């Protein structure tokens, strides 16, 4: 609530100073002078429960091949084999576009990440991952919104953006956030003329909330239009391709590169619920990973120098069973992998407390056990990118332990 | 989690309200014609309106004989029916009153409802709306007959709209090695889209939109919104997709005007809630089943029952109470959730030990009645009265209602044993409801915004995909609110740039006829631009435009431009309506 009032105050102060005609870049320069970091946090949610044991297969774990007779990836060096990362872990070959990031140390992997009090329901597990309060259903807002409320940052409509049709649960709350299917769709029918008229109508609104939100909205629309944000071409020869996740991350890159003050971006990707015919080096999961890997690599390249100020966290609601099922797939499990990319990541390593797939080590004798609380990784990203100090305001009841990848 | 001290145990014996009984006896004989009554009460209301110092005490009987709603219930069962609505002094014009009442108790003014309300007067119209069974709604009911799923049980829905995977198996379609999209594409070659489970949700959403737009029972529809949201379940969670339509029909709609205890009980027994909050998996500690292994206590329903359904987070319960309540509800389950989906009590899974809930001993050896006893305790608890009163005041009066109003309404709730109609009445008779501070004080939810836009133009909707998508873009995909808190009641989360663009976009599309399945007639745009703008603004906003806004609208219409033939440019009616629907004045109610 207090952050929201602060925003209102800043907004009206700015409006008084310049009668609503202050150009966006000036406002942002002011915000920057106030100590905004210029850093961006990008959160990518893989919905459906992505199989960490195929994404970063533990090829050095003797129990791995036994648990997955048809799904196990071939060892590094074999035809279609996984890509060696260390003595235990390898990367799914479809993620080979990420290898340069791994080598330069801007990709770190947390294996065996999960939320305590596991549930194997997609609905509940996603809910807890997004509310940030596992076991507690009635939390009305999302952890990332709470984080934004406590952060200082640029004060504009593009500060918090979800590139997906509706605002995800993790962004619901008092801090304003925009959801858009794509930048190309963030516009009014009727173009600039309609924008001008509505701008004037909202500038005269009696309702304060509507007036301030209106001012932000029309400034953002002008910016998006005048900078032709939606048509900004990739830089540095980055090639996104046509996968939906690639188009979404390209929009994220556009918002970062154009300097509109993007502090938090969220998007998601479906198709990870691989109960049947999951595939190995080729197949259902491999196709998804190729899209994901290509999109992330393009984002890193496109951002160029700004990659250092960006952190991308890739997460999912739960992992999948250690053993494959009778349909050459896997069922809902517990721990999975998280990918953390970008500047400030001490990457090039797999961390997280992986305990192995030996029956005695499995959770409830079926799932990879949790080695790292998902919130530790998220909190590290929030602290690093949003400069929030107190973890309990973002994740009530949670105290972060030692650094994971920071 | 609130770990505050327990509040005192409430008295369960409630003295009947002598005032209520007296008013019932004093009730004047019901007039035989609703129309006659309307004219009478309207006349009384208008004539006394000018004497603004006087408190209006109107006797409003509601006739049933000519309204086509069937026989009235026996007087003993609904003692408050037909009681006069006692309004405070209101210094507003009849139109202002009508607009306020329709903005809050209906989905905004439609031309027809505005006329009806102005001629009946607010007290008579509200009394009429408080008895929806007596309101003829045949036209809407006829339209809903197009949606067969609305009247089916969960079992029928599962059988008629089976999971895609099941259809594939039955049709011998192999899903191995295929992406979900590929499987779906293949399925759609053998079955029609309307045979898949999503159709159940589509019909329910369409029905809600049609009812909100066109039902005569407007207050009922607003209350469906309120109570469904209060007892939220999400169609996105597993088998709930087949239970959500029966849930609204069986648990919510029949109890909107009855007792809170009946509503609470219907919800507690309903498979949709038992599934959504996992109570169907909750058993006594140590219980195990051959196929599912060891089971145990699941506190989810118990916690939300206390925090969200009854006492409220600061209602004076402890974590120990949550656990004890959960024990009371062990065994409240579902018979074959993915096939039959009916309530079933499993005595062998029930914890038969003694429990202590809010200081009250529940003796050992009980069965299903343990849960009923908890519901009794909660429904009559003063914290519940306050919590419900506050939420209702927030919905119908203002986002932050005055504590004095909440207290007064809570007292009525307690005194009447949770009689919801009496509670609504107390709220609607309050000076706060009729205060200037309450007028246009709330931001419309996306549902209220879209439906009120269609209604204000006298339009009609089939509840088709484009309207549903517009709601989703504004942040309110119906029946899919994820958390048990439901959609927010206060304005803040609804006002953000993405949602605002979606609202403006919707208004422009609706006005230009580009929202397939939803149609609105445009007001006549003939005449001088100033006249057209004033007339249209009055029809849509029900108040004159401010000078600045008026000039902005005229400029946006190019009203000052002169055509080559010397005539002034005619007003683009669609553009004008789009501007007004997207204007800040139309976002408030």
| pLDDT greater at residue B90 or residue B381 | B381
For residue B473, pLDDT beyond 70: yes
For residue B57, pLDDT beyond 50: no
Phi-psi region of B158 (alpha: psi -120 to 50; beta: other; left: phi over 0): alpha
Interval B378-393: pLDDT, tens: 999 999 999 999 999 9
| Mean pLDDT score, B532-555 | 95
**Residue B164 pLDDT:** 75
Q: Which residues of A touch B578 (CB under 8 A)?
A: 190
Tell whether A271 lies on the interface with B, counting CB pairs under 8 A. yes
Q: Which residues of A touch B584 (CB under 8 A)?
A: 201-202, 204-207, 210-211, 214
Inspect the interface and report whether the beta carbons of B483 and A137 lie closer than 8 Å.
Answer: yes
Alpha-carbon distance of B142 to B150, in angstroms, equals 13
Pairing of β A372-373 and β A178-179: unpaired
Tell whether B326 lies on the interface with A, counting CB pairs under 8 A. no
Inspect the interface and report whether the beta carbons of B178 and A284 lie closer than 8 Å.
Answer: yes
Q: Which residues of A touch B508 (CB under 8 A)?
A: 188-190, 194
Q: Provide φ and ψ at B485, rounded to 5°.
A: -75, -15
For residue B202, pLDDT beyond 80: yes
Structural tokens at position B96 = 């202002």
Question: Facing residues of B343 across strands?
Answer: B334
A-proximal residues of B, 170-189, CB under 8 Å: 175-181
Tell whether B312 lies on the interface with A, counting CB pairs under 8 A. no
Structural tokens at position B457 = 């133009």
Q: State the fold for domain A27-187+219-367+385-392.
A: Alkaline Phosphatase, subunit A (3.40.720)
Alpha-carbon distance of B416 to B438, in angstroms, equals 26
**Residue A68 pLDDT:** 97
Nearest chain B alpha carbon to A188: B505
**Residue B29 pLDDT:** 37
Tell whether B419 lies on the interface with A, counting CB pairs under 8 A. no
Distance between B447 CA and the closest CA of chain A, angstroms: 15
B-interface mutation test, from A7, A132, A207, most B Cβ less than 10 A away: A207
Distance between B344 CA and the closest CA of chain A, angstroms: 22
SS3 B343: strand
Alpha-carbon distance of A393 to A377, in angstroms, equals 16
A-interface mutation test, from B490, B584, B589, most A Cβ less than 10 A away: B584
Helix and strand element counts for chain B (H, E):
27, 8
Structural tokens at position B471 = 């709601």
Buried (b) or exposed (e) across A294-307, using 16+ Cβ within 10 A?
A: bbbbbbbbbbeebb
A-proximal residues of B, 209-238, CB under 8 Å: 234, 236-238
**Per-state percent for chain A, helix, strand, coil, to nearest 5:** 40, 15, 45
Neighbours of A358 (CB within 10 A): 13
Q: C-alpha distances in angstroms, B37 versus B29, B34, B120, B138?
A: 11, 5, 8, 22
Helix axes B198-214, B218-230, angle to 10 degrees: 140
Residue A138's pLDDT band (cuts 50, 70, 90): confident
For residue B396, pLDDT beyond 90: yes
Q: Which of A139, A214, A277 sits opposite B500 (nearest CB)?
A: A214
Q: Which residues of B touch A124 (CB under 8 A)?
A: 237, 278
Q: Which residues of A touch B556 (CB under 8 A)?
A: 193-194, 196-197
Inspect the interface and report whether the beta carbons of A121 and B237 lie closer than 8 Å.
Answer: yes
List chain A domain ranges: 27-187+219-367+385-392
Q: Which of B443, B546, B575 sits opposite A204 (nearest CB)?
A: B546
For residue B556, pLDDT beyond 50: yes
Tell whether A220 lies on the interface with B, counting CB pairs under 8 A. yes
**Residue B180 pLDDT:** 65
Sequence-distant (≥ 6) Cβ neighbours of residue A47 within 8 angstroms? A122, A126, A268, A269, A270, A272, A316, A317
Tell whether A176 lies on the interface with B, counting CB pairs under 8 A. yes
SS3 A44: strand
Strands (DSSP E) contained in A192-333 are: 264-269, 310-316
For residue B296, pLDDT beyond 80: yes
- Half-sphere CA count of B189, side-chain side, radius 13 A: 8
**Residue B43 pLDDT:** 34
A-interface mutation test, from B232, B298, B474, B497, most A Cβ less than 10 A away: B497
Tell whether A189 lies on the interface with B, counting CB pairs under 8 A. yes
For residue B4, pLDDT beyond 50: no
Residue B267's pLDDT band (cuts 50, 70, 90): very high
Inspect the interface and report whether the beta carbons of A121 and B575 lie closer than 8 Å.
Answer: no
Alpha-carbon distance of B10 to B383, in angstroms, equals 9
Q: Which residues of A touch B237 (CB under 8 A)?
A: 121, 123-124
Alpha helices (H) in B416-562, listed in sequence order: 420-428, 446-456, 465-473, 497-511, 529-541, 547-556
Residue B108's pLDDT band (cuts 50, 70, 90): very high
Tell whether A359 lies on the interface with B, counting CB pairs under 8 A. no
Alpha-carbon distance of B415 to B423, in angstroms, equals 10
A-proximal residues of B, 543-582, CB under 8 Å: 546, 548-549, 552-553, 555-556, 575, 578-579, 582
Tell whether B511 lies on the interface with A, counting CB pairs under 8 A. no
ipTM value for the complex: 0.80
Tell whether B538 lies on the interface with A, counting CB pairs under 8 A. no
Question: Facing residues of A396 across strands?
Answer: none
Tell whether A327 lies on the interface with B, counting CB pairs under 8 A. yes
Q: Are A133 and A395 in contact (CB under 8 A)?
A: yes
Q: C-alpha distances in angstroms, A108 versus A99, A316, A378?
A: 11, 16, 13
List chain B domain ranges: 31-129, 382-438, 442-589
Tell whether A37 lies on the interface with B, counting CB pairs under 8 A. no
For residue A14, pLDDT beyond 60: no
3-state DSSP of B229-296: HHCCCCCCCCCHHHHHHHHHHHHHHHHCCCEHHHHHHHHHHCHHHHHHCCHHHECCCCCEECCCEECE
For residue A10, pLDDT beyond 60: no
| pLDDT greater at residue B303 or residue A24 | B303
Q: Which residues of A touch B509 (CB under 8 A)?
A: 189
Neighbours of B5 (CB within 10 A): 9
Q: How many CB pairs under 8 A join A and B?
A: 154
Provide DSSP, A53-83.
Answer: HHHS--TT-HHHHHH-TTTPPPPTTSTTPPE
Buried (b) or exposed (e) across A6-41, using 16+ Cβ within 10 A?
A: ebeebbeebbeeeeeeeebeebbebbbeeebbbbbb
Residue B175's pLDDT band (cuts 50, 70, 90): low
Alpha-carbon distance of B6 to B319, in angstroms, equals 11
Q: Which residues of B touch A230 (CB under 8 A)?
A: none
Interval A326-354: pLDDT, tens: 888 999 999 999 999 998 899 999 999 99
SS3 A313: strand
Least confident of B37-41, B290-294, B543-547: B37-41
| pLDDT greater at residue A297 or residue A35 | A297
Pairing of β B360-362 and β A178-179: unpaired
**Residue B178 pLDDT:** 67
């Amino acid at each position: 609530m207090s952050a929201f009032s602060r925003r209102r105050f800043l907004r009206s102060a700015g409006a008084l100073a310049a009668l609503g005609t202050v150009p966006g870049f000036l406002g942002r320069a002011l915000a920057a002078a106030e100590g905004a970091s210029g850093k961006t946090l990008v959160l990518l949610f893989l919905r459906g429960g992505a199989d960490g044991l195929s994404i970063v297969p533990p090829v050095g774990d003797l129990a791995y091949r036994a648990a997955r007779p048809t799904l196990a990836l071939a060892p590094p060096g074999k035809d279609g084999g996984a890509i060696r990362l260390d003595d235990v872990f390898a990367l799914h070959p479809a993620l080979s576009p990420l290898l340069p990031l791994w080598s330069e140390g801007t990709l770190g992997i947390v294996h065996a990440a999960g939320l305590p009090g596991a549930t194997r329901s997609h609905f509940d597990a996603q809910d807890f991952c997004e509310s940030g309060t596992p076991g507690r259903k009635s939390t009305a807002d999302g952890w990332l919104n709470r984080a934004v409320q406590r952060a200082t940052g640029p004060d504009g409509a593009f500060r918090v953006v979800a590139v997906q049709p509706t605002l995800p649960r993790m962004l619901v709350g008092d801090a304003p956030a925009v959801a858009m299917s794509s930048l190309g769709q963030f516009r009014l029918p009727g173009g600039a003329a309609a924008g001008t008229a509505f701008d004037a109508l909202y500038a005269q609104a009696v309702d304060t909330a509507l007036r301030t939100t209106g001012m932000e909205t029309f400034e953002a629309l002008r910016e998006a239009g005048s900078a032709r944000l939606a048509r900004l071409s990739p830089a540095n020869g980055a090639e996104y391709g046509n996968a939906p996740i690639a188009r979404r991350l390209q929009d994220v890159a556009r918002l970062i590169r154009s300097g509109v003050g993007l502090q938090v971006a969220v998007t998601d990707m479906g198709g990870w619920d691989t109960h049947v015919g999951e595939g190995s080096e080729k197949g259902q999961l491999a196709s998804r990973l190729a899209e994901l890997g290509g999109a992330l690599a393009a984002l890193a390249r496109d951002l160029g120098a700004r990659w250092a100020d960006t952190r991308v966290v890739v997460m999912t609601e739960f992992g999948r069973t250690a053993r494959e099922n009778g349909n050459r797939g896997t069922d809902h499990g517990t721990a999975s992998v998280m990918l953390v990319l970008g500047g400030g990541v001490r990457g090039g390593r797999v961390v997280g407390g992986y305990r192995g797939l030996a029956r005695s080590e499995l959770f409830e004798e079926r799932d990879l056990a949790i080695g790292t609380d998902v919130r530790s990784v998220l909190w590290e990203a929030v602290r690093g990118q949003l400069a929030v100090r107190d973890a309990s305001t973002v994740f009530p009841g949670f105290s972060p332990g030692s650094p994971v990848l920071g | 989690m609130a770990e505050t001290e327990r509040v005192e145990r409430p008295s369960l014996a409630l003295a009947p309200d002598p005032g209520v009984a007296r008013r019932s006896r004093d009730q004047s004989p019901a007039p035989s014609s609703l129309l006659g009554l309307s004219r009478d009460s309207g006349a009384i209301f208008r004539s006394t309106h000018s004497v603004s110092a006087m408190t209006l005490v109107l006797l409003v009987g509601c006739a049933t004989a000519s309204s086509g709603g069937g026989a009235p219930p026996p007087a003993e069962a609904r003692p408050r029916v037909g009681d006069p609505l006692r309004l405070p002094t209101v210094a507003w014009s009849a139109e202002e009153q009508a607009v306020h009442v329709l903005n809050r108790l209906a989905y905004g003014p439609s031309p027809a409802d505005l006329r009806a309300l102005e001629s009946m007067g607010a007290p008579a119209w509200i009394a009429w709306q408080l008895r929806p069974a007596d309101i003829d709604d045949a036209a809407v009911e006829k339209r809903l007959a197009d949606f067969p799923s609305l009247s089916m049980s969960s079992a029928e829905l599962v059988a008629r709209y089976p999971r895609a995977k099941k259809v594939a198996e039955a049709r011998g379609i192999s899903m191995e090695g295929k992406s979900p999209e590929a499987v779906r594409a293949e399925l759609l070659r053998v079955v029609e889209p309307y045979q898949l489970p999503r159709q159940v949700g589509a019909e329910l959403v369409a029905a809600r939109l049609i009812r909100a737009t066109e039902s005569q029972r407007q207050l009922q529809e607003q209350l469906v919104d309120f109570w469904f949201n209060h007892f939220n379940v999400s169609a996105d969670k597993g088998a709930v997709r087949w239970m959500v339509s029966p849930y609204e029909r069986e648990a919510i709609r029949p109890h909107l005007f009855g007792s809170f205890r009946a509503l609470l009980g219907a919800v507690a027994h309903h498979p949709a809630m038992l599934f959504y909050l996992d109570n169907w998996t909750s058993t006594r500690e140590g219980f195990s089943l051959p196929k599912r292994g060891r089971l145990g206590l699941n506190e989810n329903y118990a916690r939300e029952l206390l925090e969200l359904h009854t006492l409220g987070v600061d209602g004076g319960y402890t974590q120990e109470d949550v656990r004890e309540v959960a024990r009371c509800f062990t065994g409240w389950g579902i018979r074959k959730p993915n096939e039959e989906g009916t309530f079933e009590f499993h005595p062998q899974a029930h914890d038969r030990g003694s429990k202590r809930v809010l200081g009250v001993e529940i003796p050992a050896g009980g069965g299903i009645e343990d849960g009923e006893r908890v519901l009794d305790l909660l429904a009559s608890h003063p914290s519940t009265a306050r919590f419900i009163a506050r939420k209702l005041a927030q919905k119908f009066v203002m986002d932050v209602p005055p504590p004095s109003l909440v207290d007064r309404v809570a007292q009525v709730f307690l005194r009447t044993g949770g009689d919801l109609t009496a509670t609504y009445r107390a709220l609607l008779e309050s000076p706060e409801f009729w205060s200037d501070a309450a007028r246009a004080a709330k931001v419309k939810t996306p549902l209220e915004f879209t439906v009120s836009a269609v209604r204000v133009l006298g339009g009609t909707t089939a509840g088709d995909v484009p309207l549903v998508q517009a709601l989703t873009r504004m942040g309110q995909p119906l029946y899919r609110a994820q958390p048990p808190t439901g959609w927010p009641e206060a304005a803040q989360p609804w006002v953000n740039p993405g949602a605002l663009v979606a609202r403006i976009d919707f208004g422009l599309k609706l006005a230009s006829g580009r929202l397939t399945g939803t149609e609105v007639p445009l007001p006549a745009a003939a005449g001088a631009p100033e006249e057209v703008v004033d007339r249209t603004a009055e029809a849509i906003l029900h108040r004159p435009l401010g000078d600045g806004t008026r000039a902005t609208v005229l400029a946006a219409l190019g009203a000052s431009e002169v055509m080559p033939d010397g005539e002034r440019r005619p007003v683009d009616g669609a553009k004008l309506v789009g501007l007004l629907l997207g204007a800040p004045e139309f976002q408030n109610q």
